[in-house]
């Protein structure tokens, strides 16, 4: 199938139109027309090759909401016209213990990323959702629950599940004290979801001008991470801190904020961090952990949870041709709180 979208052609060049092929449908494949795609900071990291594993051209985008246009001969769960979603993964071995548990993100053979991965059968590089169509295995397709606003739901597929999964893993519920470092795409979802689970939620931000937003999102307070006195007063006050900061940084200011047995879970920065002291870890039996996205079962659970609780990301809708400007704004932390591309704005003439 011939399709079109926007690709990065190199680490230093802006995204530009790109025409390419999607594979012929395999028996267990679903073909989607993409309606909306969220803009994740990982898209920007990948376009710029910050992690060193990008290829070019590469089509970013892993927060995909669309409509089924065709299904393979063995597909049972979807048919043309259904509203569905695709997140950060499009395949895994489906046989290892992790896949069997529905934790495909932890597949022993490695999951296949929606972009930046390689097809398990052909080895072809995968291409993401800044495009008109995608073909994906049925098992990696999510059902959009009735009543969830399609134009706003896309960021749930990465920002949502990446923050929901640690909240569930560490058993957050009423009475839990949760901190969220960085109020961006992931951070604002962490706030909404932790509030939805009944937790007491604090935003830890460098930006005091985000305080009103933090409260409007449902947080109980904003703690200015650049204010040592306020940080000192908050010591030992958290059970779980979710760290969404996208760049190299230090953990020393944050570790003393954890209570005994508390956990700081890194979901943002990929790669080396600044040196950190082990003193607060040892003395308080505190922990540092990491967490990648979430499994398909848990992602469906999240979509259903958000539909039930009416939790939706705060989105700024953009046209496809505004993507480079959106990247620039994202680098300046000037997003409130997720850009979503309206794929109706992508015309074949452009490509």
Applying CB under 5 A, the residues found at the interface with Zn ion are 40, 42, 158
What residues contact 220, with CB distance under 8 A and at least 6 apart? 200, 201, 202
In angstroms, the CA 165 to CA 301 distance is 10
30 interacts with ligand NAP by CB under 6 A: no
Q: Is 184 in the site for ligand NAP (CB under 6 A)?
A: yes
Residue nearest to Zn ion (CB): 40
- 286 is a site residue for ligand NAP (CB under 6 A): no
Residue 207, interface with ligand NAP (CB under 6 A)? yes
The secondary structure of 202-262 as a DSSP string is EEEES-GGGHHHHHHTT-SEEEETT-HHHHHHTTT-EEEEEE---S---STTTGGGEEEEE
Interface pattern 121-160 for ligand NAP (x via CB under 6 A): -------------------------------------xx-
Owner of token pair 């709180």? 337
Task: For the beta carbon of residue 123, count every other beta carbon within 10 angstroms.
Answer: 7
Q: Which does 293 bind (CB under 5 to 8 A by kind): Zn ion, ligand NAP, none?
A: ligand NAP
Write down the least CB distance from residue 174 to ligand NAP, Å.
26
Residue 35's φ and ψ, nearest 5 degrees, are: -100, -40
Per-residue H/E/C for 309-340 = HCCCCCEEEECHHHHHHHHHHHHCCCCCCEEE
Per CB under 6 A, 162 contacts ligand NAP: yes
Give the nearer residue to ligand NAP in terms of CB position, either 72 or 292.
292
- Shortest reach from residue 2's CB to Zn ion, in Å: 27
Confirm or reject binding of residue 315 to ligand NAP (CB under 6 A). Answer: no
The CA distance from 118 to 288, in Å, is: 31
- Give 42 or 92: the residue with its C-beta nearer to Zn ion: 42
**125 DSSP 8-state letter:** B
Q: Is residue 326 a contact point for ligand NAP (CB under 6 A)? A: no
Q: How many residues bind ligand NAP (CB under 6 A)?
A: 31
- 57 contacts ligand NAP (rule: CB under 6 A): no
Min separation Cβ 158 and ligand NAP, Å: 5
Return the axis-axis angle of helices 296-309 and 159-169, rounded to nearest 10°. Answer: 100
220-249 positions binding ligand NAP, by CB under 6 A: 244-247, 249
CB nearer to ligand NAP: give 61 or 185.
185
- Dmax (CA) of the chain: 63
The position carrying tokens 């909240």 is 167
Binding site for ligand NAP (CB under 6 A): 40-42, 45, 158-159, 162, 182-187, 205-207, 210, 244-247, 249, 267-269, 291-293, 330, 333, 335
């Amino acid at each position: 199938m011939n399709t079109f979208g926007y690709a990065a052609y190199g680490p230093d060049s802006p995204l530009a139109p790109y025409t390419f092929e999607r594979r012929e449908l395999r028996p267990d494949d679903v073909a989607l027309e993409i309606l909306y795609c969220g803009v994740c900071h990982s898209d920007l990291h990948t376009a710029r090759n910050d992690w060193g594993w990008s290829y070019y051209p590469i089509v970013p985008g892993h927060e995909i909401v669309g409509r089924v246009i065709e299904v393979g001969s063995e597909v049972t769960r979807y048919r043309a016209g259904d509203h569905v979603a695709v997140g950060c993964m499009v395949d895994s071995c489906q046989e290892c213990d992790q896949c069997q548990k529905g934790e495909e993100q932890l597949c022993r053979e490695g999951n296949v990323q929606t972009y930046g991965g390689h097809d398990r059968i052909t080895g072809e590089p995968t291409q993401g959702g800044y495009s008109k169509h995608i073909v994906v295995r049925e098992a990696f397709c999510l059902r959009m629950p009735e009543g969830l606003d399609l134009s706003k739901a896309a960021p749930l597929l990465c920002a949502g599940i990446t923050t929901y999964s640690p909240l569930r893993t560490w058993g957050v519920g009423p009475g839990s004290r949760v901190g969220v470092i960085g109020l961006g795409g992931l951070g604002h979802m962490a706030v909404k979801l932790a509030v939805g689970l009944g937790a007491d939620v604090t935003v830890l931000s460098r930006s005091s001008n985000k305080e009103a937003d933090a409260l409007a999102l449902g947080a109980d307070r904003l703690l200015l991470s650049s204010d040592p006195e306020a940080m000192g007063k908050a010591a030992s006050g958290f059970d779980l801190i979710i760290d969404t900061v996208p760049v190299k940084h230090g953990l020393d200011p944050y570790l003393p904020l954890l209570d005994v047995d508390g956990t700081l879970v890194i979901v943002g920065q990929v790669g080396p961090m600044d040196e950190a002291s082990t003193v607060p870890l040892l003395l308080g039996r505190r922990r540092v952990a990491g967490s990648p996205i979430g499994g398909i079962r848990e992602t469906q659970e999240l979509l259903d949870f958000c539909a039930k609780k009416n939790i939706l990301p705060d989105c700024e809708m953009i046209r496809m041709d505004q993507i480079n400007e959106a990247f620039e704004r994202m680098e300046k932390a000037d997003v409130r709180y997720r850009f979503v591309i309206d794929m109706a704005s992508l015309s074949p003439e452009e490509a």
